Chain A
Amino acid sequence: MENCYDLLIIGGGPAGLSAAIYGGRAKLKTLIINKGAVGGLVNATREIVNYPGYLKVSGPDLMKDFKKHAENVGVEFLKDEVISVDYNQVLKTLTTRKGKQVSAKAVIIACGSEPRLLNIPGEKRLRGMGVAYCATCDADFFEGEDVVVVGSGDQAIEEGMYITKFARKVTVIVLHDEGVLDCNKASAERAFNNKKMEFIWNSTVEEVLGEENVEGVKLKNIKTGSSSILDCQGVFFFVGMIPSTSFLRDSGLEIDQKGYIPVNDLMETNIEGVYAVGDNRVKYLRQVVSAAGDGAAAAVAAERYIEEIENFNAKVLKSDKKVLLLFFNASVSESLQYGAMLEEIVSECSDRYEIIRVDTATKKTLAKKYHIKDIPAAVVLDKGEKIKDLEISMDKEKMKFNLFS
């Protein structure tokens, strides 16, 4: 099938691109589906100074390198947006906005996040008329004017400093007490030393004012409760991000209240063969370097998952004989003993069975599928269909009875 892949990656930011590089290197047929420019939100970052190996690099330049690397290992790209997913089959199917259907053995969700809106009066109405969310895109429209920045995280402070290159004055509205910013210390120090930057503490923005264009903001001091009006021509909102996971709402995928996808350390979601990486998963640190790490882990987990499934299909489904799936773990000596006895019985008395061993230390998928909890365990399959769970006994005669009855 033309639209069938080993690995589908939704999103082309650093997490998705890293997963793709690992997938491509593992010879998986890999496709990235990405709706905007490859690189995702990193493209909005002018300067990255903490990605190892790069003293200072622009977001778009770093992402160009990631993309080139992915292309170099044979990854394919599709510019489109995934609007619905079907995770119910072993082969996962995605439908795009342009009506294309693609399927894959494993899916990695790396669709990132988008700026959070405050939903205050005037914010939506005056968007593009003074209300802005991206300094790289819009800062130079405020040459010589007064600009308000809302928020005090890395993005707010660093973007705010960039805006001072154009604006006459940048006033930062901060929720916290005087002197407390959420951003990193180096940026805070630079911001405090920037003569064009001013701070208003313990305050929030209640409303964006203006008819055709932004003319000011209404501020509220959260300590005193008093309101005031500050004249300005622009307001930049940097009040955090929300995960772009709304298209997954009815997919059966577990998503937390805030929209983030919980995963384990293999980046596995609650659905087999579906992984989540980068900004859209529940995590501690959201940086390019941690996104890249996520992508690598998920791609390796997906590769092993695919191998296990394919091995199962090739050996178990195509076997002429009945298959004895023998679950063992080298650390459980009883399971090794049991395995040896089972081999003995089968080789002595029957050519009706073929034994296939599953090491539960590394292979998790089949153990989960057949609800294996204790080791040793064995399942009898015929053409892939389960006939019975073998009752475990360490007595040879009893074992024979269990097997042939």
Chain B
Amino acid sequence: MPLHQLDDDSFEEIIYDNGEACLVVFSRKSCHVCQEVVPVLEELEYKYHGKFGFYRVDIEEQKTLFQRFSFKGVPQIIFFKNGEYQGKLSGKVEDEQVEEKISNTLD
């Protein structure tokens, strides 16, 4: 299943207002590495359903959202809990790395 896509408002609500433990992947259609990483997350979302949130932001469509962070590239996976930044993974990542970060975030 495709990941739930966030815009400015829903980002604010889910990350900061609700403080949900979750990850957000910033990606773009023209990035082939993103095309490999996003399916890995889609697969994992199923496993963590109800325990950890998975969201995505298309940086072409949500430019201002991306500019809030000083990132220099995609894909970027950002981890949040209680409205606080917990860490990130950049570039091509394997599912083991994502799962490790998720468990660190949940601890």
Please report A residues at the B interface, Cβ cutoff 8 Å. 35-37, 39, 41, 43-44, 79, 97-98, 114, 127-134, 136-138, 141-142, 212-214, 233-234
Number of A-B contacts (CB under 8 A): 71
Please report B residues at the A interface, Cβ cutoff 8 Å. 28, 30-36, 39, 43, 70-76, 88, 90-92, 95
- A36 lies within 8 A of B72 (CB): no
* A42 → B minimal CB distance (Å): 9
Which residues of B sit under 8 angstroms from A127, Cβ to Cβ?
73, 90-91
The residue on A at minimum CB distance from B88 is A128
- B90 lies within 8 A of A128 (CB): yes
Which residues of B sit under 8 angstroms from A43, Cβ to Cβ?
32, 35
Report the Cα distance A234→B75, complex, angstroms: 16
10 smallest CB-CB distances across A and B, nearest first, come from: A128-B90, A137-B31, A36-B36, A37-B35, A138-B73, A43-B32, A128-B73, A127-B90, A141-B72, A127-B91
Q: Among A36, A97, A98, A141, point to the contact of B73 (Cβ < 8 A).
A: A141
14 contacting pairs across A/B (C-beta < 8 A): A36-B35, A43-B35, A97-B43, A98-B43, A114-B92, A128-B72, A128-B90, A129-B72, A129-B73, A136-B30, A136-B31, A141-B71, A214-B72, A233-B72
* A14 → B minimal CB distance (Å): 14
Which residues of B sit under 8 angstroms from A212, Cβ to Cβ?
70
- B36 lies within 8 A of A142 (CB): no
- A137 lies within 8 A of B32 (CB): yes
Sample of 5 further A-B pairs with CB below 8 A, known A128-B71, A128-B88, A129-B90: A127-B90, A128-B91, A132-B72, A134-B32, A137-B31
Q: Among B30, B32, B71, B75, point to the contact of A129 (Cβ < 8 A).
A: B71
- B31 lies within 8 A of A128 (CB): no
Which residues of A sit under 8 angstroms from B31, Cβ to Cβ?
134, 136-138
* A214 → B minimal CB distance (Å): 7
The residue on A at minimum CB distance from B37 is A36
- B30 lies within 8 A of A79 (CB): no
- B91 lies within 8 A of A133 (CB): yes
Given contacts A79-B39, A128-B88, contact A137 B30 (CB under 8 A): yes
Report the Cα distance A37→B39, complex, angstroms: 10
Report the Cα distance A97→B43, complex, angstroms: 10
- A128 lies within 8 A of B76 (CB): yes
